[in-house]
């Protein structure tokens, strides 16, 4: 299934010197990280529904584990410096801050996933810890330009 090695064409060479041009490979990089971020959206939304008690909470611990695992994959998907999608250029211009925040996110979600094991989903302490660990907004404000 591996793509054929491509001979560098004049168009590809042009792309090297025109960083605004998005190549097919760059599209893949953007698409891949979007799959990861959308997973976090979907799972956080599921957790939010459990916290607001509109659906049963049996899956709480599993959702939090899935979030922790996905958080752990996210930073890697931003390592290639490829603009596009909803990522602001600040992701790469402030890489030290961005990667620290992503690593903290992975660490904090892993902690809360461990804390949730064997706990009821309506445990108030757990609820607070979950809300703290899933505080996506400050990072999104700094690093995401949401497409409407």
Residues in contact with its own copies by the rule CB under 8 A: 1-3, 25, 28-29, 31-32, 35-36, 38-39, 42-43, 45-46, 49, 51-56, 58-59, 62-63, 65-66, 69-70, 72-73, 76-77
The nearer residue to its own copies, 10 or 118, going by C-beta atoms, is 118
Q: How far is the CB of 4 from its own copies (least distance, A)?
A: 11
Q: How far is the CB of 136 from its own copies (least distance, A)?
A: 15
Q: How far is the CB of 128 from its own copies (least distance, A)?
A: 12
Residues contacting 102, CB < 8 A, separation 6+: 71, 74, 75, 78, 139
C-alpha 110/C-alpha 57 separation (Å) is 19
The nearer residue to its own copies, 85 or 142, going by C-beta atoms, is 85
Q: How far is the CB of 31 from its own copies (least distance, A)?
A: 7
C-alpha 22/C-alpha 85 separation (Å) is 11
Helix (H, G, I), strand (E, B) or coil at 38: helix
The nearer residue to its own copies, 111 or 142, going by C-beta atoms, is 111
C-alpha 122/C-alpha 147 separation (Å) is 33
The number of beta carbons lying within 10 Å of the beta carbon of residue 9 is 9
């Amino acid at each position: 299934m591996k793509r054929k090695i491509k001979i560098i064409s004049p168009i590809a060479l042009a792309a090297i010197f025109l960083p605004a041009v998005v190549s097919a490979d760059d599209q893949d990089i953007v698409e891949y990280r979007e799959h990861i971020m959308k997973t976090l959206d979907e799972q956080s939304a599921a957790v939010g529904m459990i916290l607001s008690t509109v659906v049963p909470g049996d899956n709480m611990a599993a959702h939090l584990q899935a979030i922790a695992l996905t958080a752990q994959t996210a930073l890697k998907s931003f390592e290639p410096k490829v603009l596009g999608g909803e990522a602001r250029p600040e992701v790469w211009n402030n890489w030290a801050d961005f990667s620290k925040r992503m690593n903290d996110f992975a660490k904090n979600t892993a902690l809360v996933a461990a804390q949730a094991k064997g706990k009821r989903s309506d445990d108030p302490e757990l609820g607070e810890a979950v809300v703290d660990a899933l505080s996506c907004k400050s990072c999104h404000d700094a690093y995401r330009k949401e497409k409407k």
